[in-house]
Chains A and B, each alone.
Chain A
Amino acid sequence: MTNSDKTTPEHADVLIVGMGASGGTAAKVLSEAGYSVVGLERGPWLTPAKHFSGDEVKFVNRNYLWADPRIAPRTLRMSEDEVAERYPFSMVPFTVGGGTTHWAGWFPRPRESDFLQRSLHGDIPGASLVDWPFRYEHLEPYLTKVEWAFGCAGLAGADKYEPFRSAGYPTAPLPPTKFGKRFYDACNRLGINGFPIPQATISEPYRGRTPTNWTGFWNTYGDPTSTRSSTLTTFIPDAVATGNLELRPECYVREVMVGPDGRATGVLYTDADGRDVVQTANVVILCLGAIESARLMLQSTSSSFPDGIGNSSGQVGRNATFHEYVFAVGLFDEPLDGWVGNYISGGSFEFYETDESRGFINGGFIGASMTGQPGNWILPGRPAWGQSAKDADREFFGRAMKIGNTVHDLPVESNRVDLDPTVKDAWGLPVARITHRSHPNDVALSRWQVNKNAEILEAAGARKTIPVYINEGHSTGNSCHQHGTARMGTDPSKSVLNEWGQSHDVDNLFVLDGSGFPTATGVNPTLTIMANAWRCAEYIDEVYARGREAEIPREHRTSSSKVGTR
Chain B
Amino acid sequence: MSSSKADWRVVVPETVDDNQPLFFSPHEWSTIEAATARIMPTDHDPGAREAGVVRFIDRYLSGITYIYAAADGSGFLELAGKEAEAWRARIFDMRHTYRCGIRDLDASAAGRSGGLDFVSLSEPEQDAALEELSGANKPDPLSFETDTIAGAFQMGAFDEGLPFFQALLLHTRQGFYGDPVYGGNRDRVGWKVIGFPGPDSLADTISGAYSLRDSYLADYSWPELIPHLRTKEARS
A residues adjacent to B (C-beta < 8 A): 1, 43-47, 49-58, 60-64, 66, 68-71, 86, 88, 95, 155, 157-158, 160, 173-178, 180-181, 184, 188, 193-196, 212-217, 219-220, 224-225, 249-250, 272, 324-326, 331, 337, 339-341, 346, 373-376, 379-394, 396-398, 426, 463-464, 466-472, 474, 476-478
What separation, in Å, do the CA atoms of A63 and B226 have in the docked complex? Answer: 39
What separation, in Å, do the CA atoms of A339 and B150 have in the docked complex? Answer: 22
8 Å CB interface, B108-164 against A: 127, 130, 134, 138-146, 148-161
Shortest beta-carbon distance, A351 to chain B, in Å? Answer: 16
Q: How many A-B Cβ pairs are below 8 Å?
A: 289
B residues adjacent to A (C-beta < 8 A): 2-6, 38-41, 43, 45, 47, 67-69, 71-73, 81-83, 85-86, 89-90, 127, 130, 134, 138-146, 148-161, 169-170, 172-174, 176-179, 181-182, 190-191, 193-196, 198-199, 202-203, 205-206, 208, 210-213, 215-218, 220, 222, 225-229, 233-235
Contact of A468 with B144 in the complex, beta carbons under 8 Å:
no
Q: Which residues of B contact A380 (CB under 8 A)?
A: 148, 150, 153
Those 8 A-B pairs whose CB atoms lie nearest each other, nearest first? A54-B205, A380-B150, A383-B139, A471-B151, A374-B177, A381-B148, A375-B177, A70-B86
* Residue among B144, B159, B229 making CB contact with A157, cutoff 8 Å: B229
Supply 15 A–B pairs (Cβ within 8 Å), ascending by A: A51-B5, A54-B205, A56-B174, A57-B179, A63-B156, A155-B226, A158-B228, A158-B234, A175-B217, A214-B211, A219-B155, A385-B130, A388-B138, A388-B142, A476-B154
What separation, in Å, do the CA atoms of A392 and B149 have in the docked complex? Answer: 16
When C-beta atoms are compared, the residue in chain A nearest to B211 turns out to be A214
* Residue among B85, B158, B169, B227 making CB contact with A63, cutoff 8 Å: B158
Contact of B139 with A55 in the complex, beta carbons under 8 Å:
no
Q: Which residues of A contact B199 (CB under 8 A)?
A: 54, 215
Contact of A214 with B212 in the complex, beta carbons under 8 Å:
yes
What separation, in Å, do the CA atoms of A430 and B151 have in the docked complex? Answer: 30
Q: Which residues of B contact A469 (CB under 8 A)?
A: 149, 151-152
Q: Which residues of A contact B210 (CB under 8 A)?
A: 54, 215
What separation, in Å, do the CA atoms of A233 and B47 have in the docked complex? Answer: 41
* Residue among B82, B144, B149 making CB contact with A331, cutoff 8 Å: B144
What separation, in Å, do the CA atoms of A249 and B149 have in the docked complex? Answer: 44
Q: Which residues of B contact A381 (CB under 8 A)?
A: 142, 148-150
Q: Which residues of A contact B86 (CB under 8 A)?
A: 68, 70-71, 426
Query: Given contacts A50-B71, A214-B211, are A383 and B229 in contact (CB under 8 A)?
Result: no
Contact of B226 with A224 in the complex, beta carbons under 8 Å:
no
What separation, in Å, do the CA atoms of A532 and B83 have in the docked complex? Answer: 34
Contact of B72 with A57 in the complex, beta carbons under 8 Å:
no
What separation, in Å, do the CA atoms of A88 and B148 have in the docked complex? Answer: 26
Contact of A55 with B227 in the complex, beta carbons under 8 Å:
no
What separation, in Å, do the CA atoms of A71 and B217 have in the docked complex? Answer: 44
Contact of A57 with B178 in the complex, beta carbons under 8 Å:
yes
Contact of B45 with A178 in the complex, beta carbons under 8 Å:
no
Shortest beta-carbon distance, B85 to chain A, in Å? Answer: 8
